[in-house]
Amino acid sequence: MKLMFISDIHGSLYWLEQALAKAEEEQPHTLVILGDFLYHGPRNPLPEGYNPQGVADRLNAYNQSGKSLAAVRGNCDAEVDQMLLHFPMMGDYVLILHEGRKIYATHGHGFSIDHLPALAPQDVFIQGHTHLPVAEVKDGITLLNPGSIALPKENNPNSYGVLENGEFLIKDFSGNIIKQIRL
Section 70-93 average pLDDT: 97
Q: Does the pLDDT of residue 69 top 90, yes or no? A: yes
Q: Does the pLDDT of residue 41 top 90, yes or no? A: no
pLDDT digits 0-9 by tens, 1-27: 999 999 999 999 999 999 999 999 999
Q: Does the pLDDT of residue 163 top 90, yes or no? A: yes
Q: How many CB atoms lie within 10 A of CB 29?
A: 12
CATH of the domain at 112: 3.60.21.10
CA 156 to chain centre: 16
Rg of the Cα atoms in the chain:
15
pLDDT digits 0-9 by tens, 87-100: 999 999 999 999 99
Asked if residues 38 and 55 have their Cβ atoms less than 8 Å apart, the reply is yes
- What is the distance between the alpha carbons of residues 144 and 124, in angstroms, rounded to a whole number? 8
Q: Does the pLDDT of residue 148 top 90, yes or no? A: yes
pLDDT category at 159 given cuts 50, 70, 90 is: very high
pTM above 0.85, yes or no: yes
Locate all alpha helices (DSSP H) within the chain, ordered by sequence: 13-26, 52-64, 79-84
Return the pLDDT at 142: 98
- What is the distance between the alpha carbons of residues 73 and 88, in angstroms, rounded to a whole number? 9
Residue-number span of the structural domain to which 92 is assigned: 3-182
pLDDT category at 101 given cuts 50, 70, 90 is: very high
Number of domains composing the chain:
1
Q: In what order do the strands lie in the sheet with 124-126?
A: 93-98, 101-106, 124-126, 141-146, 133-138
